Amino acid sequence: MEAVEMNSVSLKRPHSEDDVASADEIKRQKILEKSKAGSDSGQSIETVTEQLKDIKSEMIPNDESEEQEEEDLGDSDEDGDPESFADMMKHGLTESDVGITKFVSSHKGFSGILKERYSDFVVHEIGKDGRVSHLDDFSVPVDDEVNFEDPSEETFTVLSDEDKQRLEELQLFKNKEASVAIEVIEDTKEKRTIIHQAVKSLFPGLETKTEDRDGKKYIIAYHAAGKKALANPRKHSWPKSRGSYCHFVLYKENKDTMDAINVLSKFLRVKPNIFSYMGTKDKRAITVQEIAVLRITAQRLAHLNKCLMNFKLGNFSYKNHPLKLGELQGNHFTVVLRNITGTDDQIEQAMHSLREIGFINYYGMQRFGTTAVPTYQIGRAILQNNWTEVMDLILKPRPGAEKGYLVKCREEWAKTKDPAAALKKLPVKSYQSYVWNNMVSKRIEEYGLRAVPGDLILKGATAVHIEEGDVDNYTIHDVVMPLPGFDVIYPKHKIGEAYKEMLVADNLDINNMRHKIRDYSLSGAYRKIIIRPQNVNWEVVAYDDPKIPLFTTDLDKLEGKPLPVLPMDGKFRALKMEFSLPPSTYATMAIREVLKMDTSIKNQTQLNTTWLR
């Protein structure tokens, strides 16, 4: 099959990640100088760990700024200075840099803008039972058994801001006080009961008692179970007939999943690790997913709807189990591509091809970061045990928007002060993705869209080769390819040799991908080379105002907002598309196949010259 050439057309307006401040560059330079002092090419992981300990003051963010970031819930990720962003992106990656070079469809590409508004990209999680998660119910379940922990509305207002501050400091062991006394101004049994309930409900780990002091009544709050109580909410007050986990649907706008969990845990005053979920979701999007939390009542969760912006919680239920990563069947996407240029025939051909053939199952650009140092280079250096290069790649000043893996590394360091834990946030598996992308491009170039002898298919959990006489029983949609790892079977054709050649060039042994640090060992896995989306639907709509929404969200429906009124003959056209994808596949790669374009921010920045003026 002939390789289809890439047409460079505009996909989306790039939105700036946080610009790198000059003060941070000076800090990183200091860190780099310290890390290189006395280092050599044989530097060990232990040495790296010690150096990270030595420089922790430079890497730990200011407590005040960290708290401000969490509390500033209303801010969206607005575009920064376009000129500085464009300058940074000159050093970024393109698709060809990470092995994304082929298309499988034959239609002519056209342009469109993805995520002109973050609400143009909506993701609904598909649970393991095949049910699509929707936010469509704010009601709170009623138990047969009355629970003292179920807070009334007055619970949230009976304590003053000063009381809450003192109780939070007590709960988190931020001061030396053994207890906090709250005077009961209106001394009635009912009032005292509400205060007891408020303290226990809002500050897990604290117990209360009533004392008389100088003729006045006080509620005394104190620790009953020490620091462990924060991670393990009280068991004795939870009804036995109720499931231990409150499951709910989280609707969020322009926040990633971990940011959302951190915000919820802060407002509930609990540890983030009592939350569980099946998968993480995009930031610049509207996403709907199921979350479970240990022994927090639906009443407390529902109250957050009055406190938080960009979040809504609903569809509450109590169950006996948490959620586990990877349990989901996939995600359903609703995507609007604005200001499209394709003709009706081009759009029909593109969408029919997406539905019937699918797209190459590349790892998308977000897997590889947005800076001048690709994440796969970090991963490769880790696998090579080249720790000096690892530190150099991480810490050296460089152009490019700094986000993703490096931020997660530093956040982990700030949170735990554990260098080993911080290093685990580094993207060793991004190198697997880089190799796989290159190999699947070669596979498509060599053999096209047909199954051939030597290809691999999965039978249960086992990969087997397609034999010559059996090839007609399989299609390209059955074929898988391995990610490089120590227990992977490699195909009996040219791609097997190509894998070996690529890893040898990087000084890695394809037959021994074990690493002395277990977390960095690459285990074998298989990945389909072509994904055919399910539930594919589309329509072209006209519009005049780029700021108006082109469809209603779950929240719009709950709040009774009417459908947008669109002109019959607007000056702009948009393609609204819906499709479902399995886990670990990238919607941007499906959209890339429709538009026939490079999805990298670098390419988008260069193409969107009008926006940058």
Rg (CA), the chain: 27
Q: What is the DSSP letter of 327?
A: -
- For the record, the structure tokens of 393 come out as 């790649």
Rounded to whole angstroms, the Cα distance separating 434 from 430 reads 6
Reported pTM: 0.71
- CA 549, CA 570: separation in Å to the nearest integer? 14
**Which residue ranges of the chain lie beneath pLDDT 70?**
1-92, 143-153, 224-237, 369-377, 379-380, 382-385, 387-388, 391-415, 417-429, 485-489, 509-524, 602-613
Helix axes 387-395, 45-54, angle to 10 degrees: 30
Q: Which of 282, 455, 554, 598 is catalytic?
A: 282
With CA atoms as reference, report the closest residue to 545 among 525, 564, 517, 520.
564
Per-residue confidence (pLDDT) for residue 510, from 0 to 100: 61
Residue 51: alpha-carbon gap to chain centroid: 30
Strands, E assignment, 14-149: 113-114, 121-126
3-class DSSP state for residue 181? strand
DSSP 366: G
The C-alpha atoms of residue 573 and residue 538 are separated, in whole angstroms, by 13
Q: Quick check: is 545 catalytic?
A: no
Q: What is the token pair recorded at 263?
A: 């915000």
Compute the distance between CA of residue 203 and CA of residue 149 in angstroms, rounded to an integer. 11
Calculate ∠ Cα 284-290-295, nearest 5°.
125
Please, which residues bridge with residue 573 across strands? 542
d(CA 150, CA 318): 13
Cα angle for residues 207, 213, 215 (degrees, 5° grid):
130
